[in-house]
Amino acid sequence: MYALRKRILVTGGAGFLGSHLCERLLNDGHDVICLDNFFTGTRDNVLHLLDNPHFEILRHDVTQPLYTEVDEIYNLACPASPPHYQADPVQTTKTSVLGALNMLGLARRCKAKIMQASTSEVYGDPEVHPQPESYWGHVNPIGFRSCYDEGKRCAETLFFDYHRQHKLRIKVARIFNTYGPKMHPNDGRVVSNFIVQALKGHDITVYGEGQQTRSFCYVDDLIEAFVRLMGTPDDFTGPVNTGNPVEFTIMELAEKIIAMTGSKSKIIHKPLPHDDPRQRQPDIQLAKEKLGWEPKIKLEEGLKPTISYFASLIEQGLI
């Protein structure tokens, strides 16, 4: 067992995805370093792990160099919802770009394998549907979302240049909309927004006519994809789309959450935000071929524990 145990760093480890990943890696028998600056992550997400002797938590910002010894790195650090990444756009770009540089430097020194949590936002407002990994995207480089979109695109560039120039073992996952327990209640994402509004009986805010589409992947499915990607042979780098290809309109999601919560909330419409993508659906053929992976959890099945999580926060007076 000792020989199989890896020392794994998860940046952004106290965030939504990072905390689920830390838990999975511990369950798989590894030593886990959870690194977070707690800008959007919270200790509450990993409190239940603190007594585990194979888990440690480190307050650190990835824009600063880190010196430690690791076998693998999952680089998840970056605010991922528009309200959070637009709150300090310069810092968001620095987190993506300097964070990638620092983690790549650490991986090179340790000869560690490293995975970049990229995003479907690298495709921008896509003119190709669904989006395959070969699509280069349709991104506004000077818009309100550019700090995140272009920051993640630059991070991918750095990963592939380190791979070509320094023979670094890299993996790149492009994450599509993901939901589940431990989402930040104020992150502005559509699933958490709608659930909290519905549970509180507030009006549900739909931007535009609500005909824009999204594909929603439950967090457990996504974490499975991460682990499988990291376990692929070194000659497979990605990028690989990780998401659920089943597409829903925003109106369909709103109506489904109202029905599942038994809410009396009304749906109201507001203008579309800047550069809001009209369609977002992953082509996951590559993930099926290379990872043997596709999502298993249907939207209704994943919404149940997610609704229960937010209901619990409301009951405790935390939101």
CA distances from 232 to 106, 115, 226 (A): 21, 11, 10
The runs of H, that is alpha helices, within 29-138 are: 82-85, 89-110
Distance of CA 181 to the CA centre of its chain: 13
Catalytic hit among 85, 148, 179, 218? 148
With contact defined as beta carbons under 8 Å apart, do 243 and 284 qualify? yes
CA distances from 281 to 132, 165, 212, 241 (A): 9, 33, 11, 10
Provide the residue type at 87 as one letter.
A
Q: How long, in residues, is the chain?
A: 319
Q: Which residues lie across from 178 on neighbouring strands? A: 217
The rounded distance, in Å, linking the Cα atoms of 28 and 6 is: 10
Which of 65, 60, 28 minimizes the C-alpha distance to 41?
60
Helix 190-200 to helix 250-261 angle (10° resolution) is 40
Token duo for residue 89: 């756009």
- Report the phi/psi class of residue 167: left, alpha or beta, with left for phi > 0 and alpha for psi in -120 to 50: left
Provide the residue type at 288 as one letter.
K
Token duo for residue 170: 């890299």
Roughly how many angstroms between the first and final C-alpha of the chain, as a whole number? 42
Concerning whether 207 is annotated as a catalytic residue, the answer is no
Q: Which residues are part of the catalytic machinery?
A: 148
